[in-house]
Amino acid sequence: MIFLPRTSFMFSSVVVVFLVGGLLSIVGQHKPGPAVSLLQEIHSLKLNSTVCVDPEAVDRASTDFGLITRAVPAAVFRPSSDRDIAALVGFSYASARPFGIAPRGRGHSVRGQALARDGVVVDMGALRGDGQGRIRVCGEGCRPSYVDAGGEQLWIDVLRETMKHGLAPRSWTDYLYLTVGGTLSNAGISGQTFLYGPQISNVYELDVITGKGETVTCSEQHEADLFFAVLGGLAQFGIITRARIAIEPAPTMVRWVRLIYKDFAAFTSDQERLISPEKKKGFNYVEGSVIMADSLTDNWRSSFYVEEDITRISRLAAQYGAVYCLEGAKYYDHATASSIDQELRSVVDDLRYLPGFEFRNDVSYMHFLNRVREGETKLQSRGLWNVPHPWLNMLIPRSRILEFDRGVFKSILKHNNSVGPILICAMNRNKWDQRTSAVVPDEEVFYAIGLLRSGMDGWKNLEEQNEEILRFCDDAGISYRQYLPHYTSLADWRKHFGAKWDVFVERKMRYDPRALLSPGQRIFTSSFAQHQSM
């Protein structure tokens, strides 16, 4: 039997609630308001987990990587099992006073999407522990091969574990210190997306806790509607606690190439040629970026170059206002190393980059996939990582990309001197499963634009530039979509989802009818939840 004493023992203004005979522990600052009310409601749950309301834990959960938005939760829930998360969600769903619940992996959202004002933030990282049993590789003997990974697991750890078997997932994000559940709730994109699709196109099965507190195993064959709803669903329909991810034999080495262009039309045309389904034996990875005069300073991508190259490219960017970098990677191993030079020449010889501006490196496959980490460490040492990140990510149809270049790269961002890269990556629509919740432009080829700018000083000016870019696109009639979307009105969310909006709402009513999950996305208001519970 669970017994909550009427008197709590206070030490240094910290209250510890002892549950005699029970396993749920609650630690934190003793204060009035929603936190205490919430603790009083959930104390009867028989859980082997911790609910924290101490100022330090709550403060960490009140903001995210963006450091722009702040929303203070009532408590932070540190689960010891998936079952405890399901119990928490089920309790809120059945409660007369339901509270919002936000699963948080690394908190790498930039607009408060992982926050829960006056609700509960679930610290998914508490499930990682030593990782034993939460990442399981099924390679030899499994057809197809796969890795089962807990939703809280970091992609870098998934990579390390699968590489022990000579295997690896096919589709990645540029940054690997993100959680499996986090990227699958969005899409998960990088330079491999043109070939294999986003990460959500490479999943066989999920374990999901719905907004009703139900744990469901789903796949394309079983509970398919929930499966496709959750993939790219912005954590609106369920919390991913396990994903079964496609893997294949991993290469050992990468020939990594960067080519510099001064002409945007040639740059985009070559990208489109490289991602074309007709392009056989081309690059395994294709991504682009915009380089301005000072872009390679304090940029996590600059570690690729030696100092002399940075000086040459920066001078070229200053001369033309901006230049463009096409980045490609070709995988190989020791058995094919002797032919990699010839294979590379067959790929790049017809491209229209500037003579003398071809740069290459040979690195291990692990180093290539984890390439952002080196730049992150560099920026952290200089105090340039944990700063505001007013990022803007957009998907632009191919037919409007030249206009976007003229209006944005050559105009609005003409004097950009912020820290962080500007990415531009061509993608094939047919690699995205349209049954998922993710939305992309209607054209067969589109571009992912990542304005990954940051800075302690002047970040509000960057926000104003972001708004100017969005206004430019709206005024020009460019049918863009935001990736990692952030909108403040229902009309904008309707526009974002387009033809998928009605299905999105129906799925919300089916799987999270009280609108408990990830309230920081700000898609469904409290009035929606009240209407659905009537």
Task: Supply the residues annotated as catalytic.
Answer: 108, 174, 287
| CB atoms near residue 186 (< 10 Å) | 25
* Burial of residue 23 (number of CB atoms within 10 Å: 0-12, 13-18, 19+): middle
Q: Residue 3 forms beta bridges with which residues?
A: 20
Nearest CA to 259 out of 249, 247, 269 is that of: 269
Nearest CA to 244 out of 269, 219, 212 is that of: 219
Which string of b and e fits 80-93 if b means at least 16 CB within 10 Å? bebebbbbbbbbbb
Distance CA 66, CA 386 (A): 9
Report strand pairing: 120-123 vs 75-78. parallel
Nearest CA to 198 out of 217, 222, 170 is that of: 170
| CB atoms near residue 256 (< 10 Å) | 19
Q: How far is CA 388 from CA 34, 283, 286, 313, in A?
A: 28, 34, 28, 27
Q: What are phi and psi of 358, to 5 degrees?
A: -115, 125
| CB atoms near residue 221 (< 10 Å) | 9
Distance CA 462, CA 181 (A): 29
Report strand pairing: 285-291 vs 422-428. antiparallel
Angle in degrees, 0-180, between the axes of helices 34-42 and 82-94, rounded to the nearest 10:
110
Distance CA 207, CA 485 (A): 24
Distance CA 14, CA 232 (A): 40
